[in-house]
Chain A
Amino acid sequence: MTVYSLFHHGAGRACDIDWVPTGHYRPLKRSRTAP
């Protein structure tokens, strides 16, 4: 999902966060988001 910041008049793109189902390939880029 894409997260937009509402600051500064409307929507500025802040982040993209992907959901990867268990058993599917994880993205190569490591973001250290596991709990």
Chain B
Amino acid sequence: MSLRKLNWGIAGLLVIVLPSLGWAGQPQPPASPFKGEYFVTRSQGAVCVPFARNLNQFRRLDFDVCHPRLSEKYPQFTRPAWEEIPFDLSVAETIIRNVAARGQGDPYWTSWLTGSEPLRAEGKITLWRTRIDIDGDGAPETILRLYAPLRAAYRPGGTMQWGIDPNPCVYRHNTFYLLESPNDGTRENFNRSAFIMADIIIGQSEGRRDEYYALDRSTFPSLDGLNIGPRGK
């Protein structure tokens, strides 16, 4: 194929492809009243696009504004009903130790204990309980939620220090623990994954049972911008 024919071929391809991309790859207008937009970049379930559309009902809010972000236009998304239970330090210890890296339970717990002391003294760390059937076997699991608006930071040398998060949010600062389940596998797998969970959402679809989803704390957009945008991971 001659070079001229090849060039015409590429030009023809661009004529076909560019209009179909539309705005893709273009910067959004800086004068937009919206702070940003959520995009699905990887989808393995029917929940993804409707949930992102639900989130996009709140585009006038910046990503770090604490808000439930469940729109009346998408009533299929809700949160479990949580019942507050009296704060119990030994229960908190079980929950916190469960999310510590293997072999790091003691330093993780003791640093959390020190960092959380001011908030515990003010009664700002709370415990909640819900009963939901996450595995669909007909028998509900009992799940605990520890709300503690703390943020961990690693100091030079690798030691961890917990401090009070200046932007507390009940939809982010949670640690979960599956306390009771008739299914040992469900309990073990939930608690093994609990360290990533910041929030639990219910998704309902017509003719199907409730399905439960966890939002990964490590992939929330972060204040330092590390997790913003498709290249920010």
Contacts and interface: CB of A to CB of B under 8 A. Distances in A.
A33 B38 CA distance: 7
Interface in A1-35: 1-11, 13-35
B196 interface: yes
Interface of A is mostly: loop
A22 B29 contact: yes
B124 to A, nearest CB: 25
Nearest to B22: A30
Give the interface size bracket for B toward A. Answer: 35 or more
B228 A20 contact: yes
Nearest to B199: A1
Given A33-B52, A35-B57, A19 B24 contact: no
Interface of B is mostly: mixed
Interface stretch (B4-12, B101-109, B155-163, B186-194): B186-194
Contacts of A24: 27-28, 36, 228-229
Contacts of A16: 40-43, 219
B131 interface: no
A27 B39 contact: yes
B190 A1 contact: no
A19 B28 contact: no
B25 A17 contact: no
A18 B230 contact: yes
A15 B228 contact: no
B114 to A, nearest CB: 30
A8 B221 CA distance: 27
A6 B183 CA distance: 14
Contacts of A14: 43-45, 47-48, 213
Contact of A11 (B43, B48, B53, B196): B196
A10 B212 CA distance: 10
Interface of B: 21-30, 32, 34-45, 47-49, 51-53, 55-57, 59, 63, 73, 134-136, 183, 185-186, 188-190, 192-193, 196-197, 200-201, 211-216, 218-221, 227-230, 232
7 contacts: A1-B215, A11-B214, A18-B232, A22-B36, A24-B36, A31-B41, A35-B53
Interface of A: 1-11, 13-35
